Amino acid sequence: MKKTIITLTILFTFGFLAFGQVTDPLISKCAINAGTNAKYLKDFRIQLGKAATRSELRYKANMSLWKNTKYRFTMCNAENSNGQLILAIKDDTNKLILSSFDKKTGKIFSFVDFECQKSGIYQISYDFTNGQQGSGVGVVSMIK
Amino acid sequence: MKGRVFLFLIIVFFGFSCRNSKSKTSEFVFPQSDSIPVSEVEKLSPEAIADISKNISSPVEIANLLQTLQVPFSQNYLAASIDANRQGTNFDKALKLGILGADLGYLNMYEKTGSSLDVLSSIRKIAEDIKVGQFFDFESIKRLSKNKSNLDSLLFISIDSYSKIDNYLRANNRGQLSALMIIGVWIEGQYLATQVVNVYPDKMLSDRIGEQKIILNDLLLLISPYCKRDPEFISLCKDMQAIKEKYRDIRITYTLGDPVSVEKNGGLTIKQTETSVVTMSKEQLNSVIEITKNIRDKLILNN
């Protein structure tokens, strides 16, 4: 157990240093949070003010996702965020495929794994809980 | 009364024209028109263009699939003949920057760091030639390449460097170079997949090749504004249209289903039950393999 903790600490420290030298700390943190088995694909930097009205998630981007690939969507918040970063993905027919926010329980997941079985162009949406002001990063990785 | 009829006709017209063909047929089809009118392209906002360019799949995903299928690495797939010192025009340079970027992704995924240093030198030279060298963090990539434990950082910085170049080119009215770079990345990724499937026939890989039909139109949309610019672009657009033609009769259909969610280790896993199904004959695949090879070889030999 002690050995595992030491190994994890070393991996985390060196991983952070390696990332930290090349990019901003929030992306480093978020990419490391994705896990050692995750291979980085892209990141989305989200900065939003307080929403005037609460409707759909405000930050939108398209991304092609491919069948037989397991993706991990990791969300990280900057310290000065009022809200927590949440994610929703819709397919090209506007059907909701996943959400990191469970409306029934109010639970927010910091990462969501998606086992894609339908290749296509998906709409990735981010926002902060209750349309609050916030700053954060969404990292997309592939996992085995 | 006349007004109501007019309103009705407008609603009917837009109701039909906005309907996605896929929802009717549950099949992916190319838009009716064979070419995208320039007016349509001009209507695209810079954000929409940025969205399309970011949306094109990463060559890292193809390399990842090859690893999953336990396909061994081969140096033969790389565009070794590209001589960074012999690229005459900016067209050649931007295209080669894309091709080499895809090779770098392949090398990184297989942790072939020795070979990646040669590719990196070529990338650096070409990037500097088209005045985007400042966005390519050569030293960090080189350092990370030597340390195999930092694969994720290496992938990040390589992909991030290309994203920065892409953003800069588009923001500085050099969108044609950005489009070429993206086409180069795609062509090389497609070449890699088609060459491998030739030697290691695998349904998952041939499906991925067939599924490229989904993004072909976006690729054409990216270069369409430049298709009459000069002979090099005219030729490239013709080649891309020829690839599109080979894909026309490859079918992508969909089966319906609702996603299944499972909570595990503090995270959420969503398993999609809806599937895409590629129907592609051996002949169709062979013709995609052939045209990809011909075009890619022509592009890399055009020094």
What gap in Å lies between CA B5 and CA B10, rounded to an integer? Answer: 9
pLDDT of residue B14: 39
- Check CB contact of B211 with chain A, cutoff 8 Å: yes
Mean pLDDT is lowest, of A130-139, B106-115, B197-206, B273-282, for B106-115
Distance from CA of B150 to the nearest CA of A (A): 7
Please check whether residue A56 lies inside any domain of the structure: yes
- Which chain A residues contact residue B269 at CB under 8 A? 112-115
Per residue in A24-36, pLDDT (tens digit) is 688 878 988 888 8
pLDDT of residue A88: 98
Listed residue (B163, B199, B160, B205) closest to B181, CA to CA: B163
- Residue contact B64–A142, C-beta within 8 A: yes
Please check whether residue A129 lies inside any domain of the structure: yes
Question: Span A50-66, mean pLDDT?
Answer: 91
Nearest to A40 among B152, B207, B211 (CB): B152
Mean pLDDT is lowest, of A133-137, B27-31, B121-125, B132-136, for B27-31
Question: How many domains are contained in chain B?
Answer: 1
What's the domain range around A84?
37-143
> pLDDT category, A66, cuts 50, 70, 90?
very high
**Statement: residue B215 has pLDDT above 60:** yes
Please check whether residue A109 lies inside any domain of the structure: yes
What gap in Å lies between CA B172 and CA B167, rounded to an integer? Answer: 9
**Statement: residue B216 has pLDDT above 90:** yes
**Statement: residue B119 has pLDDT above 70:** yes
Question: Span B280-300, mean pLDDT?
Answer: 97
- Which chain A residues contact residue B268 at CB under 8 A? 98, 100, 109, 111-113
Please check whether residue A57 lies inside any domain of the structure: yes
- CATH number, domain of A45, equals 2.60.120.380
Mean pLDDT of chain A: 85
Please check whether residue A102 lies inside any domain of the structure: yes
Nearest to A41 among B51, B58, B274 (CB): B58
Percent of chain A predicted with pLDDT > 90:
62
- Residue with token string 């995609």: B288
Question: How many domains are contained in chain A?
Answer: 1
User: Cα dist. B241→A111, B1, B53, B212 in Å?
Assistant: 40, 47, 18, 14
What's the domain range around B163?
38-249+281-301
Please check whether residue A26 lies inside any domain of the structure: no
Nearest to B153 among A22, A109, A116 (CB): A22
Please check whether residue A93 lies inside any domain of the structure: yes
Please check whether residue A116 lies inside any domain of the structure: yes
Question: Span B161-171, mean pLDDT?
Answer: 86
> pLDDT category, A21, cuts 50, 70, 90?
very low
Residue B285 has a CB neighbour count (10 Å cut-off) of 20
pLDDT of residue B302: 55
Higher confidence at residue A9 or residue B117? B117
- Residue contact A18–B153, C-beta within 8 A: yes
Which residues, in sequence order, are CB contacts of B257 under 8 Å at separation 6+?
B272, B273, B274, B275
What gap in Å lies between CA B259 and CA B166, rounded to an integer? Answer: 35
**ipTM of the shown complex:** 0.83
Mean pLDDT of chain B: 84
Question: Span B164-177, mean pLDDT?
Answer: 88
Which of A118, A142, A143 best probes binding to B when mutated, by most B CB atoms within 10 angstroms? A118
Percent of chain B predicted with pLDDT > 90:
54
pLDDT of residue B32: 59
Higher confidence at residue B147 or residue B42? B147
- Check CB contact of B54 with chain A, cutoff 8 Å: yes
Question: Span B270-285, mean pLDDT?
Answer: 97
**Statement: residue B4 has pLDDT above 90:** no
- Which chain A residues contact residue B204 at CB under 8 A? 68
